[in-house]
Amino acid sequence: MSSHALADALQLSPHPEGGFFRRTHENPLTVPVPFPTSDPTDKTRLASTSIHYLLTKDSPIGHFHRNKSLTYHFHHRGRGRYRLIHEDGRVEEYIVGGDIWAGEKLMWVVEGGVWKSSAVEGAEELLISEVVVPGFEFKDHEFMRFEILKELVGDEKAREWNEFLKAENRQSSK
């Protein structure tokens, strides 16, 4: 099945981070917001939300971003590289895929506040599911800017990873 047919079969739409997605579940229970917010009236979140998320050769990068909530990730198909940058500048990189004997991950957790990017690696696509706890809200989401990337990993690495930032957040090539 082609990536386009897979996206159609799963009824996916373009995702602001790159790739394609569809929200598959919203837990109707609510929980108190466990992290600081700028709005004092913002007091609850859905207990959890989940999505299917697909990267393809046509849209192969999930651009650097972070969420305030913890995210569980589950591999379904394909192969990809995840890159995490912690607030202290520590970097983790790993391959997600089905070859567990080669150390590829089938499931991984990204804590809230950790910057992450993803990219198709040696495959036609990468299909995963994510469960966000407490539930995802765009107001709890932030895209990384070049200045932040440079501050965390230094100028050389930031220039190397510039393509993993959304176009409007990259350093210009001037």
Q: What is the pLDDT of residues 35-60, one digit of tens each?
A: 999 899 999 999 999 999 999 999 99
Q: What is the pLDDT of residue 71?
A: 98
Domains of the chain: 3-33+43-141 (2.60.120.10)
pLDDT at 123: 86
- Per-residue pLDDT at 66: 98
If phi > 0 it is left, if psi is from -120 to 50 it is alpha, else beta; for residue 134 that is beta
Query: Which residue ranges in the chain fall short of pLDDT 70?
Result: 173-174
Beta carbons within 10 angstroms of residue 25's beta carbon: 13
Q: What pLDDT was estimated at residue 124?
A: 92
pLDDT at 174: 54
Residue with tokens 């229970």: 29
pLDDT at 173: 64
Tokens matching residue 41:
């009236």
Alpha helices in the chain (DSSP H): 3-9, 146-153, 155-160
